[in-house]
Amino acid sequence: MAKKLWGGRFTGETDRVVEDFTESISFDYRLIEQDIAGSIAHAAMLGSREIISRADSQEIISGLKSILEDYRAGKIEFDPAAEDIHMNVEKLLADRIGEPAGRLHTARSRNDQVATDIRLFLKAHVVLIEGFFRQLQTVIVDKAEEYSDAVMPGYTHLQHAQPVLLGHHLMAWFWMLERDLGRFRDCAQRVDVLPLGSGALAGTTFPIDREFVSQVLGFGAVSDNSMDSVADRDFAAEFVSCAAMMMVHLSRFSEEIILWNTSEFGFVALDDSVTTGSSIMPQKKNPDVAELVRGKSARVIGSLVTLLTLQKGLPLTYNRDLQEDKEPLFDAVDTVESSLQAFAIMVRTARFDRERMRAAAGEAFSTATDLADHLVRQGVPFRTAHEQVGAIVAYCESNGKTLEELSTDEIHRFAPDASEDVSSLLTVDACVQARHAGGGTAHSEVVSQIKRARTLLEA
């Protein structure tokens, strides 16, 4: 068995079962681009500070670039016996350039190296995720504009509450996602800190230049405490926390799409491109994207619980437990990116049934609050108005009538202060357009929301 790069103190070999148990190359190979980038910056710094010769520095950098080129061409095979991506890269480098490769690890540890790799990985993926956010938000705004005047029922407790515009409802999801994006951007500031140069935990005796490395790698700041630097996974847990909140929002959106897509609701038809059929029931057209996003939210929530639990009992500084941070982190990143992309396709291709939604909007006495508000404007105390309208609704239920079907005389039996034209105020259109206070569902306010949203998207 090949000698380990850390094997000088050991006389025996690692048990094969233990070697398989402790390896991480099977998943942390995904950090190879970040690992090589960090190593190139580190080698350049070592050469510039004459900690190693400039010739060795250049040979190391050339060797690392050739490894990266071969990896991108699919020519690299990783060795599980080398444990992780860091040792695999160093082993590959030694095979190519010989002795100078052994100088690369001067003034660093795998502890600060892996922390740097993960931060670089997240820095790159936050940018990708922001792009996917904007794609989905653009689709939502486009769809909200298309259906800006479509009336639908609004719900509380999953029961008819008040009429709203579909454009208004869709824009609620835009603003949720805008907050989610803000959380990712805020998290990115704490990701953007260079830990390299912290060594194993106590720093280094070599005259390194951490600012040089920070600038080369594009970090906005350098960490302040070497012990904190190698022990910290707050940034990873925070990232997954942001991801979990976003997935909860997409899951709630999915639940509405699933409900609206049922024959009982019939508000939306989903495109063939985002649905599948049943292996036994020929008539089925299942909302798979929405259901899977709803299900995948559990994965990301689980990843957050994993990362928090992983850290809760760890003493400073680095512990091998932290090897377990990568798989839940990678899974959360992959799930967020794929969910945002698939969701955008589903919303973009969705078709809403204006007539079905409008018919449903007028059901279940959804304009009752407007009748109560009308009475308040006539001078009736709200609690009295609430009681009077409740009695009117009970009368309607007993007599099989809607509020719109009531005569003025019938309304006056319970609410004598109602005006003669009160019936004209109880249509779904009148109720929607009456809500023109800022953030309301009136068409003018929906148009204003869409305008503000497009300004954000164009910024």
Are 290 and 254 spatial neighbours (Cβ–Cβ below 8 Å)? Answer: yes
Contacts of 346 (CB under 8 A, 6+ apart): 257, 270, 271, 274, 289, 290
Residue in 26, 53, 273, 278 annotated catalytic: 278
Active site residue 278: yes
Q: Distances in Å between the alpha carbon of 385 and those of 48, 61, 427?
A: 80, 79, 19
> Phi/psi zone of residue 320: left (φ > 0), alpha (ψ -120 to 50 degrees), beta?
alpha
**DSSP category for residue 276:** B
Distance CA 80, CA 85 (A): 9
β-strands 351-352, 268-269 pairing: antiparallel
Proportion of the chain in helix, strand, coil states, percent, rounded to 5: 65, 5, 30
Q: Distances in Å between the alpha carbon of 141 and those of 72, 270, 358, 411, 446?
A: 38, 18, 21, 41, 10
- Indicate if the alpha-carbon torsion angle 309, 22, 8, 104 is positive or negative: negative
Residue 151 sits at φ, ψ, to 5 deg, of -85, 140
Distance CA 98, CA 85 (A): 19
Active site residue 157: yes
First to last CA, the chain: 57
Are 350 and 143 spatial neighbours (Cβ–Cβ below 8 Å)? Answer: yes
Q: Helix (H, G, I), strand (E, B), or coil: what is residue 286?
A: strand
Residue 193 sits at φ, ψ, to 5 deg, of -130, 130
Residues forming a β-bridge with 269: 351
Distance CA 168, CA 357 (A): 14
Residues forming a β-bridge with 352: 268
Annotated catalytic residues are 157, 278
